Each structure stands twice: as C-alpha cells, then as structure tokens.
C-alpha cells in the first residue's frame, strides 16, 4: 500500500527528468500511472516499474483527448511538458514565442480540459502544473520567453483552482529552481565550457547545489495528498528566490 493506492495518475513528459522521477514516485506510492512523452522510446524502461506507457505529443489535440480517455480518466494529472527558450526579448519573436506558449501553456489547458469532466463527475481531482521560479516570481537573464510562459502557468493554475474549488478539484503549481535534468545537462554542454556553465548554475543556488528530479517528485507526491491546498505556487528552489 501507498499514499496514492488505487489513484489513476497521468504524467506528461515522463520520458526523462522531473516527469520521469515523478511517474516513478507516484508508482512507488501505489498509484496506477500512465507515463507519456513525445519520445516513446524514453518511456520503455518505465514498464518494469508497473507503469503504463504511451507515446503522446501534448501539442496534438486529438491524441491528448484519446490518451486521457483511454487511460481511464485520471484522478491525478501532472502537467510536466515544457521547453526552455534562451534569450532576451531581443532574441525571441513570433516563432519561438508561439511555440513556447503552445507547449508550456496551451497544452496544459488542453490536458486539463480533457481530464476535468471525469474529475467533476467524481467531485475529486488533483492537477499539478510545472511552472518555475523563473516566472512572475523572479526574472533570470536570457529567459524572456520562458519566464513569460511560466508566469502564465501560474495564472492558469490559479484560474482553474478558482473555477473548480467547490467541485472537489485542486490545482497547484510547482516552481523549481535549477534541477539537474537531461535538458539542463544539454544546456550546460551547449554553453561551450561545461564546467563554467555548471558552476554558474550552482552559484545562483544559495544552497550551493542543483536540485534533483527526485526532490521535485517528492513535492508532487506531497501535493497529491495535500487536500487543503489549492491555487498555490509551491517553490522548491534551494533558496534561489528567498
Ligand atoms: P527535460 O527538459 O530534460 O525533458 C523534457 C521531456 O519533455 C523530454 O522527455 C521530451 O521528450 C518531452 N517533451 C518535449 N516536447 C514534448 C511534447 N510536445 N509532448 C510531450 N512531451 C514532450 O525535463 P526537465 O528539465 O525535468 O523539465 C521538465 C519540466 O520542468 C519542464 O516544464 C521545465 O520547464 C520544468 N522545469 C525544469 C527546471 C530544470 O532546471 N530542469 C526548472 C524549473 C522548471
């Protein structure tokens, strides 16, 4: 038995990083987990943990509806898919901006629209959205599009929470600082001098280290069971924004 015994959980972007760690943490608490990712191959090793896997691009409206329905209507939805765009307002315009809004914001609304009707029927549902401290909470250099979209995730979260608070639905946002995930590794490698890039990311964390995907996953497990909190931003950032 676990704290999520019998709960159906649905996770986007579960192929690696925070999404993967969270799918595993939900399963460890005995939830019935459907792990999805645009890259189906990254999901393969999750099957050994009793997790159902399914290739899913959250930008595809019909695929999202089919996936939510066929996974048996989740009690717990973790919206983790997101993209980091690097640059200031001078470096990003229509294409990059539109893509980030579509993936980081609109796709979350899409999965919520697909998951909510069944949650409302049961008068019970928990939605967790991946935002960031780089949002309305904090500006970071070269994260213009990213910060705009993650601020929107906070607005989206509060809006959904307000509309459905009396119907048994909770909707919360997680705001991490810098987490050592495969895509962060990619950004550090792309910077040219890997060690210098890593040192710079670590330096902005007052705790002197990066977060781990498992630490973020444990907050998601906590929120799944925290029945008296909704519409809130839950910061987990090693003190970056304190
Ligand atoms: P990651 O960036 O390493 O992996 C992202 C995953 O998303 C990949 O498996 C990829 O295949 C998948 N994906 C990409 N496009 C998709 C799509 N259209 N549909 C479905 N899946 C798709 O993972 P991460 O760094 O742990 O980031 C996960 C989330 O956490 C993102 O929303 C990110 O913005 C947020 N976040 C990360 C950090 C960090 O420092 N890593 C900090 C704050 C917030």
- pTM summary value: 0.98
Whether 1 is in a domain gets the answer no
pLDDT of the residue at 1: 86
Whether 73 is in a domain gets the answer yes
Q: Which residues line ligand 1 (CB under 6 A)?
A: 12-13, 15-19, 37-39, 42, 56-59, 80-82, 84, 103, 130, 132, 176, 178-179, 181-184, 213
Closest alpha carbon to 178 in 144, 152, 216: 216
- Residues 129 and 187 reside in one and the same domain: no
pLDDT of the residue at 94: 86
Whether 184 is in a domain gets the answer yes
Q: Whose CA is nearest to atom 19 of ligand 1?
A: 57
Query: What is the DSSP code (8-state) at residue 103?
Result: I
pLDDT of the residue at 149: 98
- Residues 183 and 116 reside in one and the same domain: no
- Summary count for the chain: helices (H), strands (E): 8, 7
For residue 211 the two structure tokens come to 């977060």
Task: Check 10, 78, 144, 146 and give the catalytic one.
Answer: 146
- Residues 87 and 191 reside in one and the same domain: no
- Residues 192 and 139 reside in one and the same domain: no
Whether 241 is in a domain gets the answer no
- Residues 79 and 104 reside in one and the same domain: yes
Is there a catalytic annotation at residue 146?
yes
Whether 94 is in a domain gets the answer yes
Residues of the domain holding 184: 179-210
- Residues 148 and 116 reside in one and the same domain: yes
Atom of ligand 1 minimally distant from the CA of 134: 43
- Residues 70 and 188 reside in one and the same domain: no
- Residues 27 and 96 reside in one and the same domain: yes
CATH number at residue 109: 3.40.50.720
Domains in the chain, number: 2
Bridge partners of residue 125, in order along the sequence = 169
Whether 108 is in a domain gets the answer yes
pLDDT of the residue at 182: 96
Cα–ligand 1 centroid distance for 121 (angstroms): 31
pLDDT in tens, the chain (242 residues): 899 999 999 999 999 999 999 999 999 999 999 999 999 999 999 999 999 999 999 999 999 999 999 999 999 999 999 999 999 999 988 899 999 999 999 999 999 999 999 999 999 999 999 999 999 999 999 999 999 999 999 999 999 999 999 999 999 999 999 999 999 999 999 999 999 999 999 999 999 999 999 999 999 999 999 999 999 999 999 999 99
- Residues 196 and 134 reside in one and the same domain: no
- Residues 144 and 226 reside in one and the same domain: yes
Pairing of strands 52-55, 32-37: parallel
Whether 130 is in a domain gets the answer yes
Cα–ligand 1 centroid distance for 166 (angstroms): 31
**Can you tell me the ipTM of this complex?**
0.99
Cα–ligand 1 centroid distance for 80 (angstroms): 6
Cα–ligand 1 centroid distance for 79 (angstroms): 10
d(CA 171, CA 154): 10
Whether 242 is in a domain gets the answer no
Q: Is 64 exposed, middle or buried (0-12, 13-18, 19+ CB in 10 A)?
A: buried
Q: Nearest-5° angle of CA 98, CA 103, CA 108?
A: 125
- Residues 97 and 205 reside in one and the same domain: no
Q: Whose CA is nearest to atom 23 of ligand 1?
A: 17
Ligand 1, from 133, 145, 183: best to mutate by most atoms within 8 Å of Cβ? 183
- Residues 56 and 168 reside in one and the same domain: yes
d(CA 239, CA 104): 24
């Amino acid at each position: 038995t676990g704290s999520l015994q019998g709960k159906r959980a649905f996770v986007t972007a579960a192929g690696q990083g925070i999404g993967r760690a969270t799918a595993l943490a939900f399963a460890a608490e005995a939830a019935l987990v459907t792990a999805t990712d645009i890259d189906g191959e990254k999901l393969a090793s999750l099957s050994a943990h009793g997790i159902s896997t399914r290739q899913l691009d959250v930008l595809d409206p019909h695929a999202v509806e089919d996936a939510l329905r066929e996974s048996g209507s989740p009690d717990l939805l973790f919206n983790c898919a997101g993209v980091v765009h690097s640059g200031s307002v001078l470096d990003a315009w229509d294409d990059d901006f539109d893509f980030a809004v579509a993936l980081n914001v609109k796709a979350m609304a899409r999965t919520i629209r697909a998951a909510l009707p069944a949650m409302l029927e049961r008068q019970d549902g928990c939605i967790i959205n991946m935002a960031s401290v780089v949002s309305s909470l904090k500006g970071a250099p070269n994260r213009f599009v990213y910060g705009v979209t993650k601020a929107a995730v906070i607005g989206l979260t509060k809006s959904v929470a307000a509309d459905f608070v009396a119907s048994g639905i909770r909707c919360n946002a997680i705001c991490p600082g810098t987490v050592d995930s495969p895509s962060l590794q990619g950004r550090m490698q792309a910077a040219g001098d890997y060690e210098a890039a890593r040192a710079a990311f670590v330096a902005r964390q007052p705790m002197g280290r990066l977060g781990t995907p498992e630490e973020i996953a444990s907050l998601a497990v906590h929120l799944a069971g925290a029945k008296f909190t909704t519409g809130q931003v839950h910061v987990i950032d090693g003190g970056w924004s304190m």
